[in-house]
Amino acid sequence: MEAVIRSSRALHAQHEALRGTVAALEADHTRVAEASDEARLLSERATDRLQEGTRLIQSSLGQINSLLELVDALGQHVTSFSAAMEQVKRSAKDIEDIAETTNILALNATIEAMRAGDAGRTFAVVASEVKSLASDTRRATDEIAVTLDALNEEAGVVIGRIEAGSKASDDARASVTRIETTIESVGELVEEVDRQNDVIARATGTISGHVSAVQKGLIHFDEVTRENEDKLFEAQQEATGLERIANEMFDTIVHAGLSPNDKVMAEHAMGVARQIIEATEAGIANGTITRGAVFDRDYRLIAGSAPERFTTRLTDFAAASWKPILNRSTDAVAESIATVCVDVNGFMPTHNDRYSQAPTGDIAHDTQYCRNGRILPEEAKDDGRDTTAPFRAYVFRYAPDGERYVVQRSIYVPLRFGGERWGSLKFAYSFGEAAGSSRAIRTGCAAP
């Protein structure tokens, strides 16, 4: 029954932990939902701003493209201007050649006029004017040539810059194309994020429904568990009451002598208790130990002990004086399991050899065989300290191998030193009863 209750309590503790986990999950889910909603709002705002920015950028890109086209057209015009300048330069060269020829013809005409004398004077004047015109024409063509050279030089610089600008415009056009592609990719990414947020929102809603269903199931499970715990507690109370009644009946039977074998065990236990009392009072009388040391309740933990073991000022005296008596008691009775002295708090200052072995570090071994120094309150609970009877008899069953139950009987004899109650001597024994015994049964610790 106690094992079932412990299992139920452990299950309840796990259930409480699960409820805490579900509550934490719900809180996390709420935060995820809030974060998802916030992300969705941010995504919507980002989409709006991106669309607005896209419109502005596309407008700017259109203006940039127009400017790039203007640069290309300007380059073409400058190239045409350069070609026209070359044509003008060639025409000026032709005029210069004509002027040179005219000048030569004027010189020849002047020579012929001089040969003609007075008859050629008028012709000489015309020749002189023609020569002067040729000279003016040559000077004009020279100035045109100088001007054209200057224009060509400036045009070369402008053309170089325009060509560089045209190349830069090609790079700019490629960059503009990349910007447009990037903007489109960013827009698609934001749209994808928005779609994923929609998926998250739907999944969050689904999870919320599942969490709510789990919570409802846990609440129902909690109600059923609590109801079962209440019923188990009631059953335990009834079993404890039956156990107490059964043990009282068993104790009465033993006291009445109706169970001769148990009566013999009780007589043996009372004899061992008298030996313990005599040895202790003798030790107090001869100064081997003080009364204060015997009743020392300052339990000092033995460092590193597992399970925990303790010492008091009584420990050394008990090991030297009580332990031999306990060993003889256990060895003298074939049916005996152990003999031990337990104070009112469940402290066992020493034990017989079987249950006071040196610790090995193996928790199972040390729990079973290193009982000297242990404090087991359940041992004090059944010590009969609230009665004036010379002993109390108890019986319970346990499973030493976890499967087959055997019945263990115990005789508790009060130990009083100088008239003051110290605790009890417990003598445990078994007649080898099977689990089906009709005796009173109580689950509990096997060895004292």
Residue 440: its pLDDT value, please?
A: 31
Residue 338: its pLDDT value, please?
A: 96
The answer to whether 123 touches 112, Cβ cutoff 8 Å, is yes
Residue 117: its pLDDT value, please?
A: 73
**Phi and psi (nearest 5°) for 369?**
-115, 0
Query: Tens of pLDDT along the chain (448 residues)?
Result: 566 666 677 766 776 777 777 777 777 767 777 777 777 777 777 777 777 767 776 776 677 677 667 767 766 766 676 677 677 677 767 777 776 787 787 677 778 777 777 776 776 777 677 777 767 777 877 777 777 777 777 767 766 776 676 676 667 667 767 766 777 776 777 677 677 767 776 777 777 677 677 767 767 767 767 777 777 777 767 766 777 788 889 899 999 999 999 999 999 999 999 999 999 999 999 999 999 999 999 999 999 999 999 999 999 999 999 999 999 999 999 999 999 999 999 999 999 999 999 999 999 999 999 999 999 998 875 544 456 899 999 998 876 666 777 889 999 999 999 999 999 999 999 997 533 333 332 333 344 5
The answer to whether 199 touches 32, Cβ cutoff 8 Å, is no
Tokens of 167: 């190349």
Residue 263: its pLDDT value, please?
A: 97
pTM of the model: 0.52
Q: Which structural domains are found in the chain, ordered by start?
A: 2-223 (1.10.287.950), 259-429 (3.30.450.20)
C-alpha distances out from residue 136 to 45, 89, 127, 131, 132, Å? 78, 18, 14, 9, 6
Q: Is 424 helix (H, G, I), strand (E, B) or coil?
A: strand
